[in-house]
Amino acid sequence: MATASRVLGWLAALGLAGGLAMGFGVAPRETTQGFVQRIMYLHVPTAWVAYLAFGVVFVASIVYLARRTDAADRVAHASAEVGVVFTGLTIAAGSIWGKPTWGTWWTWDARLTSVAVLFVMYLGYLLLRGMIEEPERGARYAAVLGIIAALDVPLVHFSVYWWRTLHQPPSVMKPGAPTMPPVILATLLVNVVAFTLLYLYFVTKRVELLRREQEARLA
Amino acid sequence: MMPDNWGYVAAAYALALVMFGGYWRRLRTRERQLRTPPSRRRGR
Amino acid sequence: MSFARRAWAVTWKDVLVERRSKETLNALVFFALLLLFAFQFALGPDRDRLAQAMPGLLWLGFILSGLLGLGRTFVTERENDCWEALLLTPGDKSAVYVGKLAGNLLLMFTVEALLIALFAVFFNVDLSAALPALTLVVALGTVGLAAVGTLFAAMTANIRARELLFPILLLPVQVPVLLGTVKATEAVLAGEPLAAVAQWLKLLVAADLIYVVSGLLTFDFILEG
Amino acid sequence: MRTKRTKFLAGGVVIAAALAYMIYAGVTQSAVYFVTPSELTQAPVAGKAYRLGGMVVKGSLRWEPRTLDLAFAISDGKATVPVRHKGTPPDLFGEERGAVVEGSWTPDGYFKATTILAKHSEEYKAPHDEGQASPKELMKTLKGPGA
């Protein structure tokens, strides 16, 4: 586990370096938005990882309740924590992107709101974990909350989407061809892979730490 | 056409560096704490 | 005993306790009155502004009293050391969930009916035309709120910072229900037909279904020990 | 054990069905986030808060940097609404671009905006691509359901 984590770390570093080089060196200056569009290479991958992380929490929570393996609980815990970091960055970077392009730091737009709700939900998840002393009960309750929260995500998404929207529709994850030139798309994909590796690195490292913490507690 | 606004881009990437770096350092500190013998950890 | 009988036993026990002490209901009614005062003071006598803010205020009242009421779901069991008795309930624990949920719905509907009546009287609005549609919208929203609320109340019952953690966990999860029900209430109070808010009703029905079923499935894990 | 399994299977199916229905309804529903100029001009209510969305008409944009007075017209191809605002517009805001303004209709016959939000399309273009997104495409973005 520890060596796997180290390998993932170096791969992530390599990928991030490549992503940065492509984002600032290879990808062209976008015509409408100009230089500031390069925030996209940070914002979109972190948003993807945020959803991925909470998907992992959902699956690991179900596995924990079905099999009661500590490993599944550790994965859920680690993934939620790393997911909160990525979600926070998604919101912050999106806000910084929004100021020059939309003219406002924050607007109660659909996707901004839904990611913010996601962020608060999983902060609550971590808070709950922190407040229960007995590890087994904490794991059980957190798993239930992780499942409910994940089932809630589509509901949150559509409810705020109907409420109001300003965010441009997705460019990549939609039926039909992506609405961007291949260079920009390739840069984006490299960054998505790099940030996913970074997520995996953080999670494996955190899982390892949680395992050792548990061992220390039992010793 | 839009001005370059490179300051915003720099701010976003700097923030990413701070957040990921901060989280990484937190993990490292915890790791080191766990490596010290349990007797010394009590006083933490 | 059948599932329904066991669920009914839990509800009936709570109703009896409440009828004898009237603890929760009295407090909630008093709280609702105070809320009315607060809204009146905050918004002043401007009728138009009140009418515009009414759906939001109404739901603010429901949520705040709901948070108070729902959070107390398992307090009697905690305080009287009956938590273990709940744990010892034979068979499927989801019967306890259904029983508690029914009791909570009863309590919330009572408080809500009272709040709507008080609003109509004190703010001098005629609600009779909108009442059937309003009832449906409020009921759908309340089921969603109570379904998750009952589950989370059990989850936070044994935690020291219960009063703090309960709303923190409940409110973000309830965002879809709150958005849907407030928007639908707004339209219904403005005299629009239910068809105009069909999409919100669909959302509420789907959300209620998901919450109740996931509550049924996961409650066992919370009442394990 | 067996009944437990059936319980979880049945519950899972119900939840999955509800979610699938939700997503289906969400994707097919084209909700309205703002009124269009033609909708507004049909029955404008003075003083009511609106969100108005459309294209900024070519040649209509006037900005006085000293007084921060901004005036332009928003159109959806059928009707045009004059808009006035006080403040600096966002960088992405410009003629023949999409914009959403929040504000209210005044009895004097113009839309008084409190906030201007530039709406950009999901098209990203490299410099060598020909031209801008056509106004038609932008209107599509403004109206499109997406999801």
Q: What is the per-residue DSSP string for A78-114?
A: HHHHHHHHHHHHHHHHHHHHHHHHHS-S----HHHHH
- Over residues D91-131, the pLDDT tens digits come to 778 788 888 888 888 878 888 888 787 766 555 555 544 34
Q: Which of A115, A159, A160, A161 to mutate to test the interface with C (most CBs of C within 10 A)?
A: A159
A81 confidence band (pLDDT: 50, 70, 90): very high
Check whether D147 has a pLDDT greater than 90. Answer: no
E runs forming strands in A7-62: none
CB contact under 8 A, C169 and A124: yes
Q: Is B2 on the interface with D (CB under 8 A)?
A: yes
- Greater model confidence, D121 or C105: C105
pLDDT band at C105 (very low <50, low <70, confident <90, very high): very high
Provide the pLDDT for residue A124.
95
Task: Give tens-digit pLDDT for C131-158.
Answer: 889 999 999 999 999 999 999 999 998 8
Q: Name subunits touching B (3+ CB pairs < 8 A).
A: A, D
A13 interface with B at CB cutoff 8 Å? no
A9/D80 Cα distance (integer angstroms): 56
- From residue D60, alpha-carbon distances to A59, A205, D12, D63, D70 in Å are 54, 58, 57, 10, 10
Class of domain D37-143: mainly beta
Structure tokens at A215: 């061992």
Q: Is D8 on the interface with C (CB under 8 A)?
A: yes
Does C173 touch chain A if contact means CB atoms closer than 8 Å?
yes
Q: In this complex, is the C-beta atom of B7 within 8 Å of any C-beta atom belonging to chain D?
A: no
Q: How far apart are CA C63 and CA C67, in angstroms?
A: 6
Confidence grade of residue A75 (pLDDT, cut at 50, 70, 90): very high
**What pLDDT was estimated at residue A173?**
45
Split at pLDDT 50, 70, 90, the class of D145 is: very low
H or E segment at A20?
helix A2-21
Confidence band for D29, pLDDT divided at 50, 70 and 90? low
ipTM comes to 0.76
| Residue D15 in contact with partner chain C when CB distance is under 8 A | yes
Asked if residues A200 and A1 have their Cβ atoms less than 8 Å apart, the reply is no
**Longest distance between any two alpha carbons in chain B, whole Å:** 64
Query: Is the per-residue pLDDT at D61 higher than 70?
Result: yes
- Residue A98 carries which side chain, given as an amino acid letter? G
Q: Which positions 1-40 of B are in contact with A (Cβ < 8 Å)? A: 1-6, 8-9, 11-13, 15-16, 19-20, 23-24, 27, 30-31, 34, 38
Interface test with C, best of A155, A158, A162 (most C CBs within 10 A): A155
Number of H helices, E strands in chain A: 6, 0
Cα(C58)–Cα(C35) distance, integer angstroms: 10
> Chain C window 152-211: which residues touch D at a Cβ cutoff of 8 Å?
199, 202-203, 206, 209-210
Which amino acid is present at D68? Answer: L
Contact residues of D toward B, CB < 8 A: 91-92
Domain residue extents for chain D: 1-30, 37-143
| CA dihedral for C138, C140, C146, C149, sign (positive or negative) | negative
Q: What is the pLDDT of residues A135-194, one digit of tens each?
A: 899 999 999 999 999 999 888 888 877 765 434 444 444 445 556 777 778 888 888 999
CB atoms C199 and D25 under 8 Å: yes
Among residues D122, D100, D96, D107, the alpha carbon closest in space to that of D33 is found at D100
Dist. CA B7–CA D67, nearest whole Å: 27
User: CB distance from A100 to chain D under 8 Å?
Assistant: yes
Nearest chain B residue to A206, by CA: B27
Of D7, D14, D22, the CB nearest to C203: D22
**Across A68-77, B9-18, D40-49, least confident range:** D40-49
Set of chain D residues whose Cβ sits within 8 Å of the Cβ of A180: 123-125
Measured distance CA(C70)–CA(C60) in Å, rounded: 15
Share of chain A above pLDDT 90, in %: 42
Q: Which two tokens stand for residue A115?
A: 């990611």
For residue C15, what pLDDT is reported? Answer: 85
Q: What Cα–Cα distance (Å) separates residue A186 from each residue in A43, A169, A189, A207?
A: 15, 19, 5, 31
Q: Mention every residue, 6+ apart, whose C-beta is less than 8 A from residue A5.
A: A201, A204, A205, A208
Extents of the domains making up chain C: 3-222
The identity of residue C152, as a single letter, is F
**For residue range C32-91, what is the model confidence (pLDDT) as tens digits?**
888 888 887 887 777 667 777 788 888 989 999 999 888 888 887 888 778 887 778 777
The chain B residue lying nearest D91, using CA atoms, is B2
